[in-house]
Structure 1
Amino acid sequence: MLIEDKEYNIKHLHYIIRSAKKKDAKYLSKIRLQIDGETENLDREQGEAFIDESGFKQIIQRDTESTRNLFLVAEVDGRIVGFSRCEGNELKRTIHKVEFGVCVLKEFWGYGIGRNLLEESIQWADSNGIKKIALNVLETNEKAIELYQQFGFEVEGILKKDKFLSDGKYYNTIVMGRFND
């Protein structure tokens, strides 16, 4: 599904949040690879589950055509610096919900990009009859957990020792959800 472009000016940074387009596929492949190497907050290490340009084109087309999916990008001066996805399905038992994920290049942390991608996704979900947004977050990502709670997400569970990180330790994954009555 598509949304209208929205402009933001935060701390002297001007950016746009908009729906992903097929022309973005090449850049999305590159920044996803870069972001995966910048933080351990995500599920992948750099290079794992690589999606090439054609793979992103397929995802963008599917998400654009589906009323249950939303693929957003954040753009600064024509450069994609982050993105988010809401992915749902047509199964009767789970048609009411979507899974949310977000990532932003580290050099653009602190400008509200993740927050605004989340807020746009929530507005889209609420206006399209989606009752639940679900997500997973690493227990050490306290800023993200706090942000999600500000938007009405609640802890639904903990996946114990779910991630093995570079420090040789296991970490829990927090399962969160936001339900819109």
Structure 2
Amino acid sequence: MPMIIRPIDVSDAEAFLELNKRIDESGFMLHEPGERKTTVEQQKQAIERASSEERSAFFVAESDYQLAGFIAAFGGKMKRNQHSAYLALGVHDAFHGQGMATKLITKVYEWAEAISISRLELTVIKDNVKALKLYQKMGFQIEGEKVHSLMIDGKPVNEYYMYKLV
């Protein structure tokens, strides 16, 4: 079954919520496992909001007719930062190692070039070695370190700020 990368749709709300809950279980996302309390209706509204933002994009990866990953790009809203976008990426663990994250990031590169966004940025938990290697493979560089930016299991955890100029 081929993988399809496409813009998210409001009709994806329920499946997207379930995907996020599964990805949260990895321990590498902002939400703690089980912490996400978003309703389907709230998720629909969030998708509508994101879709209406001129300099933002939201893509999902579909495999075997189910959502398996996503990438969101949140563009700057002011004149001084509208050339940049902050990324959030997640892939269902059953689909790791299949090139899905690479395809999602590539899709965002195409989108960014098409609307003249020249800087992409993200944060990644320092201990998330797989993600760090992926981002570096895709051309992201470490820009700095957010010290004690998260508390995970009662312990402070650092994140890397990463960027890529497109």
TM-score of the two chains, using structure 1 as the length reference: 0.84
> Structure 1 stretches of 5 or more lacking a match?
1-12
Name the counterpart of 2:35.
48
* 1:83–1:103 contact (8 Å) kept in structure 2: yes
Bigger mean CA offset, 141-150 vs 69-78: 141-150
Establish whether residue 15 from structure 1 lines up as the match of residue 3 from structure 2. yes
Name the counterpart of 2:159.
173
Name the counterpart of 1:97.
84
* 2:124–2:159 contact (8 Å) kept in structure 1: yes
Please give the root-mean-square deviation of Cα atoms over the aligned residues, in Å: 1.6
CA distance in 2, matches of 1:146, 1:76: 24
Percent identity over the alignment?
Answer: 30
CA distance in 2, matches of 1:47, 1:58: 21
Name the counterpart of 1:32.
20
Establish whether residue 88 from structure 1 lines up as the match of residue 85 from structure 2. no
- Name the amino acid aligned to 2:141: E
> Could you give the per-residue CA deviations for residues 48-95 of structure 1, whole angstroms, max 9, x where no partner exists?
243221222222222322221111111112111111100114211211
Where does structure 1 differ by over 3 angstroms across 4 or more consecutive aligned residues?
none
Name the counterpart of 1:5.
none
